Structure 1
Amino acid sequence: MRQLMLAALAAGTFLSGADTAFAQAAGEEGASNGEIIVTARRRDETLSTVPAAITALSNDDLIQRGVHTDSDLQTVAPGLTIRQTQGNNSLTYSIRGQTADTFSGSPSAVIAYLNEVPLTINGASSFYDLENVQVLKGPQGTLFGRNATGGAVLYNSAKPVNDLKATLRGRIGNYDMHEVEGMVNLPLIDDTLLMRFAFDTVRKDGYIRNLLNNERLGNVKRDSGRMTLTIKPADGITNTTMAQYTKTGGTNTGASYTYSVYGCGDTNNGYALTCGAGLLFGPGLDAAFGVDGLWASYLAAHPDAYAPGLIAYVDEQRRIGPYKTRHPGGASHHGEDWFVTNTTEIELGGGATLRNIFGYSNSKTRSEQPQLGAPFVTILTANAAADQYGNQLKVRSVSEEAQLLGDTMDGKLEYIFGYYMQRQRSDTLWPQTYFDVSPVLAPSYVTNNFRIRNKTDALYGQLSYEVIPDLKLTGGLRYTWERVSIEQLPQATYTFGLPGQHKTFSDPSWEVGLEYKVTPEWFAYLKTRGSFRSGGFNGAAPPVTATATGGGNLFDSEHTQDIEGGVKYSGDLFGRPANFASAVFVQWIQDVQRVEFPDPDGPGGLASIAVTANVPSSRIWGFEAQGAVRPAEWLTLGGSMAYTNAKFTNGNIELFGNPYSYGPVGDTPKFSGTAYAQISVPVGENMGDVSLRGEVYGQSAQYFSNAAASIAPGTRLPGYALVHARLDWTDIAGSNFSAALFAKNLTDKEYFVGGMTLAAALGHNAAAVGEPRTYGLELSFKY
């Protein structure tokens, strides 16, 4: 059996397309035999023997690789895409083609957790004083539940330790960037009462200039502080409380690059394209109303408008480039977030532990989002008539999780059983302005204002049994009940006063798998999983308890199943330290939750709304590989790669009586990966350590629409490659001081990181641009 498994491992390595020259150590700088601890199965385990595709990074890894916000994670975790639909403060995770669209009522398919408590706001955050970050790929419904059909991203803040420690780090750079972060760890009572304080503050000018008002889009103003207290009142009892407050400001980059606009009569694969914006904002306005001089009248009233019209502005945008825009509205961003976690662990004896995890969050944001970079008010996130500016979201959540975990039968049987509860309330305000063609046509103002409540309860359990030495069988089951309700709030233009609605969704999630420790260096696994993503209500749709096919605001649950197999290696290659991991997967999804902008009144109207629909089915398959090798004491080579082939196997659906067709799958590049080299430079004894790291991240083209083959052409973003570098000098001359020079996007590559598709609603699409070259100096002190 061992020989057969080794042959399978060799075949898996070949099929993965892995090459040690393109391998990334998952969570360790350099390849060594040191073990990395992860919590993918809600217990501490070594990364090299966890049967799952995981990328894990320590706090030092995050610093060395320049990962300061969520967006940076994409370059270090193969297969993870951080979507910027409306710019730098509107982020959504996508793994293996599973995500949530803009304006969706759908919960995200990739859930982010802080200290095992789900985060409720998907926005840019600061990465400071973290213990580690773990990216889990594939359905996580058994142990992490709550709709994680694509994966989970686990952030773990550093816990207090029984030592007096402190760090202070400062960064300065171009775009007037200055950031300061620090930490103080205090053992108040020896190994009994431990406290840790950490903070981060950052200021940075925007990299996109609005030519209409000279405002900089992408300004960053973020302050965050965290306090963690650990109490050990008796042997075997530990209680840790973390409280964090974050305040954000600045401006949104938005989808500020006008990417494509459709003209009347344009078609794509037999589908007539929406042309409302291109028709009203151009010289064709006269013909549309049968009156001469209307366009001239509009231009006289709007001196900043582009005289050749919106369709012609696509070429003008390409001429001025991605870092200039003519957005006619505001771009301000304001956010506040309180987050509290409390974890209590009690050792019961006999290998059993009782754990309780409590979470509380209270978040609010207000963002004016540029959704087109052209100097025409086709759409604004504002309702001037009601004195409302910016999309507003207020989310309050309380969660409670109780777990019993441990092992028995001399360690042959590992178990975890738990109960999870979450109560979440989300208040949404979307003020909108459509088609300001005054004095020819008065703008249309509308505000959506609604509250959605989620009441989630789940029971789960998972067992791992060592059938024979080194061979384990794992089985897990979770059953979730999610009650979703919606009510229309007073500022809703048309729907306030209509009856509220509610519906309960319930389904199981499961996992069955085999794992085998083939040799001390080689590990293999094969498993299958199933999970679901809860249905819900579309807040902007007519409040009728039916799906959009039946003219209502309901969408159904999404279901998924997958098969994943992988191999891992941690040992030596030709006598030098090396590690390697690869995974092959196929995933099937039914009733895929995707957003569209249909017109309830039929084609040609101006009342398009955002609705989450259930696309019949899709299939995703691919492989991922990562690893590293140290061919010499002074050199480490590594990298990662991912191939993801996502397809709607049945993408046809009817919404409000009109047919729609989906494909290709958006926000999912087929290829992505990173290659790096790190060199240790000799500087003499007692002078510290000097190292130089160079890294290249690349990805192939992707779409920012899920209907590019039908009603949303012109939404394909080209692939790109980015070069990053960092020169470190740690413990300078034997001191506690360190310094570094860093640069990201060293070649100043122009590229796109997502987009806002309003093809069906308005007939135009806009892209979000990535950061240009940034560089700076970092100084730090450790005590």
Structure 2
Amino acid sequence: MKHFQNSDTVAARKVALRNFASLAVIAAAVTASPLAAQVTDAAQVPTITEAAPQAAAEPATTGAQSSRGSISDDIVVTARRTEERLQNVPVAVTAFGTEQLTERRILTESDLQSVTPGLTVRQSSSSNQLSLSLRGQSIDAYSYSAPAVLTYFNEVQQGGVTATSFFDLQSIQVVKGPQGTLFGRNATGGAVLYQTQAPTRNFEGYGRAGYGNYDNRELEGAINVPLGTFGAFRVSGKLQKRDGFQHNLYNGGRLNSVDSQVIRGSLLIAPEGSGFENKTVYQHGFFGGNSGGIKLQNFYTPGQTNNGNALNATAAALYPAGFINFTTDARVRQLGFDGIADYLQKQQKIGFYDFYNDADGRHRAKQDTVSNTTSFDLSDNLVIKNIFGYNNVVSRDKSDVDGSPFQIVTLGAADTMRFNYVFRTRQVSDELQLQGKAFDEKLSYIFGLFGSKETQGQQALYNIGGDYPQPGPAGAPFQYNFKSIDKSRAVFGQATYAVAPELNVTLGGRYTWEKIRIEQLPGDLYQSIGIGPRSEKFSKPSWNVGIDYHITDSLMVYANHRGSWRTGGFNGTSLDTIDGVMVPNAFKPETTYDFEIGAKFAGQIGGLPARFNVALYDQYVKNVQRTVYIAVTAVSGNVAKARVTGAELDGQITLASWLQVGGAFNYTNARYTDPDATVGNFTLAFGPYGDTPKYSGSAYVRASADLPNGNGEVVARGDLYAQSGNFYTNLNDSLSPGTRIPSYALLNGRLEWNDIAGSRISAAAYIRNITDKKYYAGGLGLGAVVGTNGTLTGMPRMYGAEVSFKF
């Protein structure tokens, strides 16, 4: 990322200084206010649980805790499939508890990026097609690779092509680095764990209503009903509607709107004293609205080259000056865009959030998710546990992937089609675990068996140059319609032994068998020419070797060596040729191993409560799974070798009983050490590394004060997030130049009054992106397909207020 080192660095530093100054003003304002006089001595207040460096399951804390959940001594996480104090977990984990999720308005997947430095949540073909990247490990859009960063809902893997909605969660935990010896599937980058609020034996609940700009309306709540000694039941839900902040000038519509409705029921069966517990969670969600649109960034001209590579100039050839004389699109004639160069020039004069997309961005997705966890205590030190999961997601979209008013690449044969893109994901899994302790509890272990079946399908209609008289210069419309079936089986185990009271050694292993099959369905382009199904089998080990040493009660150091992989597979949008025979495009498994050392501190610094964590890692990847978009196909393959080295730091310190500051910093140096790749029948050199900002970081100030006479608590908070520039393709130096996203910084603020006048009613006001920074949240590089690249704009300034109550 050498381009970031000059003017971008200076600009980023200036932005950071301005935003840090804004945070200082917030803190100073609270310090000078009469509220500051009401605080108590700092030594009497435990450390505030802050989301940036820690976590998570707030009911599982041993220290003092306010009713608002912001103060605790011990934070418990489940990153190693058992409850542990965060500071004792010898892995890099960022986690958030219930109140932190609310206070920082983490409402959906994209919000996680600004609170987790090192995590990139990239938008590709729309705001609903997301990919997660940790430590440089990610997947390309339309690659059909297994995710490098897996998400789990109550320990059940969850996929699907849609943004979702967060509510009534106990915690979110982001576990960094290769996974395999503990979690349901292998992953090369990490895992994100969503844990819902479990039913309790108390009659309780909450409600929350909010309103903000862009007519944003939110309604959320939960009711918990005890069932005597038998168990408990909990039902919760959330509704949100928001107008789009992007204006589609092509048809007058709004893009990037929200319309979500989700309901969840949780049943706990746990007869007291039985040692038996069964928890079933069912969630149904509808996610609508219009996806965020793509905006044309650039195009390539005939004869243009980049580092010796001839660039694709299809768009320029199809849409030269004079195109307006023979287009069949009446709207383009009316707008008067005479070719792609004329359009791009005129686009510079419209607003940042103004678009000309020839599709309305309609998005409709339904999701049904079930998790069932059953455990039985065989003895005081032995538990058997079974986790069953089911996830079904169907999403339908009407998208414009080229970001222009022209039908350069039209998803659909006609504008009158309601939907032209359908994704289907169906996952069924079961995992049997045996967890226990032995040798006077010096040995802790977990062993298990895992099996899953995942079916993914895609149906997409394409048309190149669809605004020409048909069939047009690029031929008739065509369809991809296929599905892939992945059956996975694994045996795994991990054990930790206390060699001494301060010294622990961990060993873990897993062996996984994968069987992948692809089938072309009726109407598919390749089925029509006789391309049949194809299948492959893969099997490989994963491992973990670790050691941790508690130097003092406050300081732990650790070292880990891990290895993992993700399965190979097929891409139904393209073909390979083997011995003169055309077959579906295939890619090999990706393998990785890393070395990580770290330290965790939780104690006193100068008499002030503080927490600090640092992790340094070096990761090696072989057969990196990557995709190239060529000739209206997404061709998947493998880059020979890559290496990622980095550092992650986070911390917080309580300066007074009413004032806390903290932050995090992430450095990621990702590069291809052997960039040569065989992708389908093409040989390419990849680079720079995509979806990986070299620098990212966050900082926050949180000030609170108790009002006199029991009138509640006032909290003021400011958050800053910044990241360096990065690329949304992996071919900027070859086939897709001009695919860089600039650096940016975002400032958020929140003011809340909790337990108003001694009641259980609270109110809050918030502003996100206070400076109304215009930035990009991702992009789609079609440079090698039709010679265009497009970006997706990030969120503008969002503000609003909310009222909540508990009972």
In the superposition, the TM-score normalised over structure 2's length comes to: 0.89
Equivalent-residue separation in structure 1 for 2:632 and 2:569 (angstroms): 20
The match for 1:508 among 528, 531, 541 is: 541
- Give the aligned CA root-mean-square deviation in angstroms: 2.3
| Counterparts of residues 684-723 of structure 1 (less than 5 Å) | 684-723=708-747
Show the counterpart of 2:617: 585
Show the counterpart of 2:456: 426
CA deviation digits over 1:631-687, x for unaligned, max 9?
Answer: 111111011111111001111224454432210111110111110001114532311
Show the counterpart of 1:273: 311
Structure 1 residues 180 and 679, CA gap change in structure 2 (3 angstroms): same
Deviation at 1:450, TM superposition (A): 0.5
The match for 1:204 among 242, 254, 265 is: 242
Deviation at 1:77, TM superposition (A): 1.1
| Counterparts of residues 551-630 of structure 1 (less than 5 Å) | 553-598=585-630, 607-630=631-654
Deviation at 1:308, TM superposition (A): 4.3
Secondary structure in structure 2 of the residue aligned to 1:524: strand
Show the counterpart of 1:298: 327
Deviation at 1:361, TM superposition (A): 1.4
5+ residue gaps in structure 1? 1-18, 284-292, 599-606
Q: Is the 8 A contact 2:52 2:96 kept in 1?
A: no
Q: Does 1:436 align with 2:469?
A: no
Q: Is the 8 A contact 2:172 2:192 kept in 1?
A: yes
Equivalent-residue separation in structure 1 for 2:760 and 2:70 (angstroms): 26
Equivalent-residue separation in structure 2 for 1:437 and 1:666 (angstroms): 33
Show the counterpart of 1:93: 132
Show the counterpart of 2:106: 67
Structure 1 residues 491 and 437, CA gap change in structure 2 (3 angstroms): same
Show the counterpart of 2:354: 324
The match for 2:55 among 27, 44, 62 is: 27
Equivalent-residue separation in structure 1 for 2:625 and 2:435 (angstroms): 34
Matched to 1:195, the amino acid is F
Equivalent-residue separation in structure 2 for 1:653 and 1:552 (angstroms): 18
Q: Does 1:130 align with 2:155?
A: no
Q: Does 1:149 align with 2:179?
A: no
Deviation at 1:389, TM superposition (A): 2.9
Show the counterpart of 1:14: none
Structure 1 residues 306 and 94, CA gap change in structure 2 (3 angstroms): farther
Show the counterpart of 2:61: none
Deviation at 1:313, TM superposition (A): 3.0
Q: Is the 8 A contact 2:520 2:526 kept in 1?
A: no
Show the counterpart of 1:465: 497
Deviation at 1:195, TM superposition (A): 0.4
Equivalent-residue separation in structure 2 for 1:164 and 1:41 (angstroms): 31
| Counterparts of residues 741-780 of structure 1 (less than 5 Å) | 741-780=765-804
Q: Is the 8 A contact 1:56 1:133 kept in 2?
A: yes
Show the counterpart of 1:663: 687
Deviation at 1:236, TM superposition (A): 0.8
Deviates more, 1:521-530 or 1:116-125: 116-125
Q: Is the 8 A contact 1:547 1:554 kept in 2?
A: no
Deviates more, 1:22-31 or 1:514-523: 22-31
CA deviation digits over 1:249-299, x for unaligned, max 9?
Answer: 111113x2111111111111111111110121122xxxxxxxxx6652338
Equivalent-residue separation in structure 1 for 2:680 and 2:156 (angstroms): 38
5+ residue gaps in structure 2? 1-19, 25-49, 57-67
Q: Is the 8 A contact 2:260 2:286 kept in 1?
A: yes
Matched to 2:326, the amino acid is S
Equivalent-residue separation in structure 1 for 2:476 and 2:693 (angstroms): 37
Show the counterpart of 1:729: 753
Q: Does 1:375 align with 2:375?
A: no
Equivalent-residue separation in structure 2 for 1:383 and 1:308 (angstroms): 23
Secondary structure in structure 2 of the residue aligned to 1:383: coil
Equivalent-residue separation in structure 2 for 1:346 and 1:625 (angstroms): 39
CA deviation digits over 1:399-419, x for unaligned, max 9?
Answer: 100000111101111110000
CA deviation digits over 1:508-563, x for unaligned, max 9?
Answer: 00010111111000011101100111001111123767999x97511110000100
Q: Is the 8 A contact 1:212 1:304 kept in 2?
A: no
The match for 1:343 among 362, 366, 373 is: 373
The match for 1:542 among 570, 575, 581 is: 575
Equivalent-residue separation in structure 2 for 1:25 and 1:738 (angstroms): 26
Equivalent-residue separation in structure 2 for 1:533 and 1:546 (angstroms): 27
Q: Is the 8 A contact 1:608 1:761 kept in 2?
A: yes
Equivalent-residue separation in structure 2 for 1:240 and 1:262 (angstroms): 56
Secondary structure in structure 2 of the residue aligned to 1:225: strand
CA deviation digits over 1:179-226, x for unaligned, max 9?
Answer: 100000000223x22000000000000010000111000111000000
Equivalent-residue separation in structure 2 for 1:189 and 1:745 (angstroms): 47
Equivalent-residue separation in structure 1 for 2:164 and 2:628 (angstroms): 28
Q: Is the 8 A contact 1:137 1:152 kept in 2?
A: yes
Structure 1 residues 60 and 415, CA gap change in structure 2 (3 angstroms): same
Structure 1 residues 469 and 547, CA gap change in structure 2 (3 angstroms): farther
Structure 1 residues 656 and 695, CA gap change in structure 2 (3 angstroms): closer
Equivalent-residue separation in structure 2 for 1:46 and 1:373 (angstroms): 48
Equivalent-residue separation in structure 1 for 2:211 and 2:436 (angstroms): 47
Q: Is the 8 A contact 2:55 2:76 kept in 1?
A: no
Q: Is the 8 A contact 1:383 1:447 kept in 2?
A: no
Equivalent-residue separation in structure 2 for 1:585 and 1:721 (angstroms): 26
| Counterparts of residues 200-239 of structure 1 (less than 5 Å) | 200-233=238-271, 235-239=274-278
Matched to 1:627, the amino acid is G
Q: Is the 8 A contact 1:203 1:221 kept in 2?
A: yes
Structure 1 residues 494 and 127, CA gap change in structure 2 (3 angstroms): same
Q: Does 1:384 align with 2:408?
A: no
Deviates more, 1:341-350 or 1:231-240: 231-240
Deviates more, 1:745-754 or 1:274-283: 274-283
Deviation at 1:305, TM superposition (A): 5.4
Deviation at 1:129, TM superposition (A): 0.4
Deviation at 1:32, TM superposition (A): 6.5
Secondary structure in structure 1 of the residue aligned to 2:315: helix
The match for 2:223 among 173, 178, 184 is: 184
Q: Is the 8 A contact 2:167 2:237 kept in 1?
A: yes
Equivalent-residue separation in structure 1 for 2:290 and 2:70 (angstroms): 41
Show the counterpart of 1:195: 233
CA deviation digits over 1:720-755, x for unaligned, max 9?
Answer: 001100001000000010000011001111000100
Secondary structure in structure 2 of the residue aligned to 1:685: helix
Q: Does 1:399 align with 2:429?
A: yes
Deviation at 1:89, TM superposition (A): 1.1
Matched to 1:448, the amino acid is Y
Q: Is the 8 A contact 1:677 1:694 kept in 2?
A: yes
In the superposition, the TM-score normalised over structure 1's length comes to: 0.92
Secondary structure in structure 2 of the residue aligned to 1:636: strand
Structure 1 residues 168 and 732, CA gap change in structure 2 (3 angstroms): same
Structure 1 residues 294 and 421, CA gap change in structure 2 (3 angstroms): closer
Q: Is the 8 A contact 1:172 1:776 kept in 2?
A: yes
Matched to 1:60, the amino acid is E
CA deviation digits over 1:593-618, x for unaligned, max 9?
Answer: 001023xxxxxxxx441121111011
Deviation at 1:142, TM superposition (A): 1.2
Deviates more, 1:392-401 or 1:559-568: 392-401
